[in-house]
Amino acid sequence: MATKTDKKKTAGKAVKKATTEKKTTPKKTAAKAKTKKSAVVAPAVECTKEEMQQAILDRLQKGLGTSQDKANNKAWWNATCYAVNELVFDKLTKTQKNHSGHDTRAVNYLSLEFLMGRLLSNNLHNLELFSVAQGALKALGKDIYDICDEEPDMALGNGGLGRLAACFIDSLATLGYPAIGYGIHYEHGLFAQSFQDGRQIERPDTWREYGNPWEICRPESIQHVPLYGYVETVFENDGQSYKVWHPGQKLKGVPWDIPIVGYAAKTVNILRLWESRADEAFDWDVFNAGGYVDAQAEKSQAETVSKVLYPNDSTEAGKELRLIQQYFFCACSVKDIIRRFKRANTDWSLFAKKVAIQLNDTHPTIAIPELMRILVDEERLGWDAAWAICQETFAYTNHTLLPEALEQWSVGLFEKVLPRHLEIIYEINSQFLQLVEEKWPGDDQKKAKLSIIAEGDVRRVRMANLCVVTAYKVNGVAAVHSALVKTDLFPEFHQLFPTKLVNVTNGITPRRWLKACNPELSALYDETVGADWVVNLDKLKDALPKATDVAFQKRFMDIKRSNKVELVKIIKELTDVEVSADAIFDIQIKRLHEYKRQQLNLLHILTLYRRLLENPDYDMVPRVFLFGAKAAPGYHMAKQIIYALNKIADKVNNDKRIKGKLKVVFLPNYRVTLAEKMIPAADVSEQISTAGLEASGTGNMKLALNGALTVGTMDGANIEMAEEIGAEDMFIFGLSVAEVKALKSAGYNPYDYYYKNPELKAVLDWLDSDFFTPGKPGELSDIKRSLLDWGDEYLCLADYASYCAAHQKIDETYRDQSLWAEKAIINSASMGKFNSDRSIEDYVANIWKLEKFPIS
| Residue 272 CA neighbour count, 13 Å, CB half | 24
Angstrom distance (rounded) from CA 532 to CA 518: 16
Catalytic residues, by residue number, are 399, 590-591, 596, 698, 702
Q: Of 564, 556, 554, nearest to 540 (Cα)?
A: 556
DSSP 265: G
Residues 6+ apart with CB under 8 A from 340: none
Neighbours of 707 (CB within 10 A): 30
In single-letter form, the type of residue at position 144 comes to: I
Angstrom distance (rounded) from CA 324 to CA 316: 12
Cα 481–Cα 370–Cα 496 angle in degrees, nearest 5: 40
Please provide the DSSP assignment of 487-514 as one string. Answer: IIISHHHHHHSTTTEEE----B-HIIII
Task: Answer yes or no: are the C-beta atoms of 422 and 415 closer than 8 Å.
Answer: yes
| Residue 776 CA neighbour count, 13 Å, CB half | 7
Task: Assign 184 to helix, strand or coil.
Answer: strand
Bridge-based pairing state of the strands 249-261 and 268-278:
antiparallel
Task: Assign 215 to helix, strand or coil.
Answer: coil
Angstrom distance (rounded) from CA 539 to CA 604: 38
DSSP 28: -
Task: Answer yes or no: are the C-beta atoms of 436 and 450 closer than 8 Å.
Answer: yes
What does R_g of the chain's alpha carbons equal in angstroms?
28
Q: Which residues partner with 245 through β-bridges?
A: 231
Length of the chain: 856
Return the exposure string of 173-203: e unless at least 16 CB atoms fall within 10 Å of the residue's CB, then b.
bbbbbbbbbbbbbbbbbbbbbebeebebebe
Angstrom distance (rounded) from CA 154 to CA 336: 23
Q: Of 819, 838, 615, 830, nearest to 23 (Cα)?
A: 819
Sign of the torsion angle spanned by Cα atoms 282, 305, 387, 451: negative
Angstrom distance (rounded) from CA 317 to CA 602: 36
Question: Distance between alpha carbon 370 and the CA centroid of its chain, in Å?
Answer: 26
Cα 306–Cα 307–Cα 309 angle in degrees, nearest 5: 80
Task: Answer yes or no: are the C-beta atoms of 463 and 408 closer than 8 Å.
Answer: yes
Angstrom distance (rounded) from CA 533 to CA 840: 17
Q: Which residues partner with 835 through β-bridges?
A: 508
Task: Answer yes or no: are the C-beta atoms of 507 and 831 closer than 8 Å.
Answer: no
Angstrom distance (rounded) from CA 509 to CA 513: 6
Angstrom distance (rounded) from CA 720 to CA 727: 10
Angstrom distance (rounded) from CA 467 to CA 391: 10
Please provide the DSSP assignment of 715-749 as one string. Answer: -TTHHHHHHHH-GGGSEE-S--HHHHHHHHHH---
Task: Assign 199 to helix, strand or coil.
Answer: strand
DSSP 35: P
Report H helices in 382-503.
383-393, 411-417, 419-439, 444-450, 463-470, 479-484, 491-496
Segments of 51-174 assigned E as strands: 106-110
